Amino acid sequence: MLEREMLETISANLEGVRKRIARAARGAGRDPDEVTLVAVSKMVEPARILAAYDLGVRAFGENRVEEAEGKLPLLAQAIAQRGGTAPAWHLIGHLQSRKSARALELFDIIHSLDSVHLAQRLSRQAAELGRVAPVLLELNVSGEETKYGFPASAAEHEATLVQAVADIAALPGLEVRGLMTVAPLGEDAEQARPYFRWLRAWRDRLAQRFPGCSWEQLSMGMTDDFEVAIAEGATMVRIGRAIFGARPTV
């Protein structure tokens, strides 16, 4: 695709997404500024990510450490050459323990903290780097076996979840900022609503039990369901296809 065409497409897509975010927020009586757009740039080449950067995107989401390792240094360099401020990189996909140190180096926030074991490793490594790493806890609110996250599809999961959060909240080097989930694929966005509502309910319960953590962030909503997520309280929406177009199928 011609460069100009690519820019125009991303520009028009972004404008549409931003409008839809603002409309959904206002429709829910919320300030659109409460919702951070995380542009999901997995499988998107650096030139198109830079185009989004030039159009004002300052938060990008990647789901794999290996892919980020290849792209992020190139992008950091290109952005530095523009004299621009660094965007925030969000890790949104499952993190294998053995890649935790690398993830800490590459990413500014991890949405996908899904085990106490991983939290312990990240805590140790963040402390070694003299850093405090912001994290969101990923909850599996649908109970689908294909999904990562702490089991949280039913009220009976509360005791184990509370224990896990107690263990994680006590760790140095990590700062819990809230929750993240991926809703099941449905035929229409409305089908995701109960899952988003359920995530928010967990957040409210955990906030009562653990007032020492912030619990401010609710990372939920993707291309097919972000407006519903915003209506249910999302503070971060992770949007890929609506900005960059369909990903190649592999």
List residues binding ligand PLP (CB under 6 A). 40, 42, 63, 92-93, 182, 222-224, 238-241
- Please, what is the minimum distance in Å from the beta carbon of residue 211 to ligand PLP? 28
- Three-state DSSP at 247 gives coil
Q: Is 171 or 199 the residue whose CB approaches ligand PLP more closely?
A: 199
- Please, what is the minimum distance in Å from the beta carbon of residue 241 to ligand PLP? 4
Identify the H or E element spanning 133.
strand 133-140
Query: Which of 193-198's residues contact partners 24+ apart within 8 Å by CB, and which partners?
Result: 193/228, 193/231, 193/232, 195/141, 195/142, 195/220, 196/220, 196/221, 196/225, 196/228, 196/229, 196/232, 196/233, 196/234, 197/232, 198/141, 198/152
Non-local CB neighbours of 246 within 8 Å, separated by 6+ positions: none
Q: Is 63 or 123 the residue whose CB approaches ligand PLP more closely?
A: 63
Q: Is 52 or 182 the residue whose CB approaches ligand PLP more closely?
A: 182
Q: Is 171 or 202 the residue whose CB approaches ligand PLP more closely?
A: 202
Largest CA distance in the chain: 55
- Please, what is the minimum distance in Å from the beta carbon of residue 61 to ligand PLP? 6
Q: Is 75 or 229 the residue whose CB approaches ligand PLP more closely?
A: 229
Bridge partners, residue 89, by sequence = 60
- Please, what is the minimum distance in Å from the beta carbon of residue 133 to ligand PLP? 18
- Please, what is the minimum distance in Å from the beta carbon of residue 66 to ligand PLP? 15
How many whole angstroms separate alpha carbon 133 and alpha carbon 103? 10
Tokens of 188: 């229409």
